[in-house]
Amino acid sequence: MKERMMTGDRVTGKLHLGHYVGSLKNRVALQHQYDTFVMLADVQALTTHFKEPKQLSQYLRLVTLDYLSAGIDPNETTIFVQSMIPEIAELTIYYSMFVTVNSLRHNPTVKAEALEKGYEDLYYGFLGYPISQTADITFCKATVVPVGKDQLPHMEQTRKIIRRFNQLYKPVFAEPRALVGEFPRLPGINGDSKMSKSKGNSIHLDSTYEEVLNKIKKAKTDPARVKKSDPGHSERCVIFTYHQAFANESTEEIYEGCKTASLGCAECKDKVSKSINQLLEPMRERRDMFQKNPSQLDEILMEGTARAQHIAKETLHEVKEAMNMNYF
Ligand code: ATP
Ligand code: MG
């Protein structure tokens, strides 16, 4: 039997290049090797977007379209909707009995996100989202989880919860491992350390050829390089990181050209736009195909969700058995 791989994305916006190199690329490459589950995390999206559920329902289909365009094959991968698996909420409750508030408060990603969003008094659901992620991973007993770097503290939390559950009740779950992508944190076009849906610093996977050119033109470069004749510092420039992430050839020449000022920023940006457009072109073709047939998209979601529901029921039965809670 194939090992199970599981990940997902909050449906808080369309997917961008950071998602692709951080996680999506791995999912596409490995979907034949593993029994792959990909979750549209609408409940987790509510932890920060509870005031606008209508917006989330629009993103649900757009993110699905991003998956299919990027090469997720619905015949290999189970794509499902988180809120339609009530067992995930049930597991979250059980796990939350033995996770301390302090361990959640000290989670570095929760801390950083709370700071970023200006939260002082944390909402219960937001503070507890790492517990809910453990439920996402365990309801289908996944052991491989492709994620970006920000998710590593949550993976550690997940392993802790599993160890505790197994020790308290019965050994139901195997500990999962994180699979960090080639670019665990792709920076944003504004120079911010993370390209992020909610920061407006992204190049979306559904960008047109011109949109890529324009965004890259506006992207921040090494501030020390004012004139073309000033030597640049590739290590401080997001454009160079994008070369490393998306160029098909070695980036040595770019590095040298920047350092010796023989390559200007405009030309360097043109080259990177070309590489990004090369990656996005086949995605555009697949997107067009799926966009022409919206009912096919709904069918994919319904089929995937039904499969996930079936597995969730089996796991919950086993969990309750381990906890002596199958009363009748
Ligand atoms: P939000 O700002 O709403 O939290 P996000 O851009 O952080 O959105 P998520 O849906 O939270 O996206 O993350 C989905 C997955 O993509 C996670 O595994 C995350 O680590 C990964 N990811 C997101 N942004 C990047 C990035 N810039 N570089 C690498 N991986 C990323
Ligand atoms: Mg996030």
Number of domains in the chain: 2
- Bridge-based pairing of strands 4-10 and 35-41 is parallel
Instruction: Specify whether 283 is located in the same domain as 301.
Output: no
Torsion angle of C-alpha atoms 84, 87, 90, 91, degrees rounded to 10: -120
CA 161 to centroid of ligand 1, rounded, Å: 23
**Helices (DSSP H) in 71-181: which residue ranges?**
86-96, 101-105, 108-117, 124-127, 129-139, 152-168
Confidence of residue 224 (pLDDT cuts 50, 70, 90): confident
Sequence-distant (≥ 6) Cβ neighbours of residue 187 within 8 angstroms: 193, 194, 195, 238, 241
Check residue 184 and give its pLDDT.
86
Given a cut of 90, is residue 249 above it in pLDDT?
no
Helix (H, G, I), strand (E, B) or coil at 150: helix
CATH number at residue 245: 1.10.240.10
- Atom 7 in ligand 1: which residue has the minimum CA distance? 196
Mutate to test the pocket of ligand 1, among 5, 6, 10 (most ligand atoms within 8 A of CB): 10
Determine the structural domain holding residue 281 and report its residue range.
Answer: 207-287
Q: Distance (Å, rounded) from C-alpha 205 to C-alpha 221?
A: 22
AA identity, residue 27: R
Residues 65 and 162 in one domain: yes
> Which tens digits make up the pLDDT trace of 51-77?
999 999 999 999 999 999 999 999 999
| Ligand 1 atom 8 nearest Cα | 197
Q: What is the mean pLDDT of residues 281-296?
A: 95
pLDDT score for 183: 86
The Å distance, Cα 10 to ligand 2 centre, comes to 7
Does residue 118 fall inside a structural domain?
Answer: yes
Give the strand pairing for 77-81 and 4-10: unpaired
Closest atom of ligand 1 to CA, residue 9:
10
Q: Which ligand is nearest to the CA of 195?
A: 1
Looking at residue 28, what is its pLDDT? 96
Residue 199 reports pLDDT greater than 90: no
Do both 147 and 17 map to the same domain? Answer: yes
CA distance 102 to 98: 12
Which pLDDT band holds residue 102 (cuts at 50, 70, 90)? very high
Indicate if the pLDDT at residue 172 is higher than 90.
Answer: yes
| d(C-alpha 245, C-alpha 91), whole Å | 37
Strand order in the sheet with 144-147: 77-81, 35-41, 4-10, 144-147, 177-180
Q: How far is the CA of 165 from the centre of ligand 1 (A)?
A: 28
Nearest CA to 107 out of 137, 139, 131 is that of 131
Contacts of 283 (CB under 8 A, 6+ apart): 69, 70, 71, 205, 206
- Ligand 1 centre to CA of 298 (Å) is 24
Which pLDDT does position 66 carry in this prediction? Answer: 98
Q: Which amino acid is at 244?
A: Q
Residue 115 pLDDT exceeds 90: yes
Report the distance separating Cα 61 and Cα 158, nearest Å.
Answer: 28
Question: Based on the domain organization, do 149 and 14 belong to the same domain?
Answer: yes
Question: What's the whole-number average pLDDT of the chain?
Answer: 95
- Give the integer Cα–Cα distance in Å for 126 and 162: 21
Please report the ipTM that was assigned to this predicted complex.
0.95
Residues framing ligand 1 (Cβ under 6 A): 9-10, 12, 18-19, 22-23, 147-148, 150-151, 183-186, 194-198
Determine the atom of ligand 1 nearest the C-alpha atom of 147. Answer: 18
* CATH number of the structural domain spanning residue 117: 3.40.50.620
Do 264 and 300 lie in one domain? The reply is no
Give yes or no: residues 236 and 306 share one domain: no
Ligand 1 atom showing the smallest separation from residue 113 Cα = 4
